[in-house]
Amino acid sequence: MFDDDEIAAYEQQLEDTSLKALLIQQNALLHSILQELQQDVVDASDSDDRLVCDMCGESYPRDELVTHAIESHKAPSDISIEAVARGE
């Protein structure tokens, strides 16, 4: 995996770097990873809240899509979200 020279170089680099500097670098890296993960969660929740009407192709909030289909497309009042939403 790593040869002796690479291991020695890494060990020397660790000895030359202070513990505080290493912790600051690790903290910054973890902080950036956390921000990316939080943004991914926000992006995913934003896209999950809207569905596309299979009848007209317009995007509506999940909880309003069935009402839209009933009022705009004269769908039966007992229609399911799966019958209205494209790809559901």
Asked if 62 contacts 50 with a C-beta cutoff of 8 angstroms, the reply is yes
In contact, 53 and 84? CB cutoff 8 Å: yes
- At 7, the pLDDT band (50, 70, 90 cuts) reads very high
Q: Which amino acid is at 4?
A: D
Residue 65 pLDDT > 60: yes
Beta strands (DSSP E) in the chain are 50-52, 59-61
pTM: 0.45
Inter-residue contact 51 to 88 (CB < 8 Å): yes
Rounded mean pLDDT, 76-86:
87
Q: Residue 79 has which token pair?
A: 């229609």
Which helix (H) or strand (E) segment holds residue 35: the answer is: helix 19-48
